[in-house]
Amino acid sequence: MADSLYLELADFVHDVHTGIYSEETGKPQPLRFTVRARMKPLHRFDPETPLSESKNYMDLKFACSDALGDRHYKLIESVADHVCETLFVQDARIEQVEVKIVKLALSEAGEGIGITLTRDRP
């Protein structure tokens, strides 16, 4: 079995314009993102391996924040789709992206209500 490298961003909260109900539209709402991006790693990572041989994990944060812009997304599924596509466009070495989104505004007792989208590179 071949090695895999997973870059991760966990529990990142960012306000996004999303929703279909009147109480959700017109203002951003907080979403919690957890993202895993799988890429094929080098055979070995020695102490002098440059960042260019991996991926800057801050790119995962960018895909869940600035890359979303101010656009309104009716479904959080479309938010997750945009995150996946952003990461695929950024780096051809990304083989798969998993995006978990929790809508924090829906929580009544601390439960996590949301979706997980796993997408392989087309």
Cα angle value 81/99/22 (rounded, 5°)? 65
pTM, two decimals, is: 0.90
**Domains, the chain, with CATH or none:** 5-120 (3.30.1130.10)
Grouping H, G, I as helix, E, B as strand and the rest as coil, residue 18 is: strand
Q: CB-based burial of residue 89 (10 Å sphere; 0-12 exposed, 13-18 middle, 19+ buried)?
A: exposed
Alpha-carbon Rg for the chain, nearest whole angstrom, is: 16
Per-residue pLDDT of the chain (122 residues; tens, 9 = 90+): 678 889 999 999 999 999 888 777 788 999 999 999 999 876 778 898 888 887 888 999 999 999 999 999 999 999 999 999 999 999 999 999 999 999 998 777 778 899 999 999 98
Answer positive or negative: Cα dihedral of 23, 28, 34, 35.
Answer: positive
Give the span between the Cα atoms of 6 and 69, in whole angstroms: 26
Identify the bridge partners of residue 36 per DSSP, sorted by sequence position.
Answer: 8, 98
Residue 41 CA: distances (Å) to CA of 2, 3, 5, 54, 80: 9, 7, 5, 7, 24
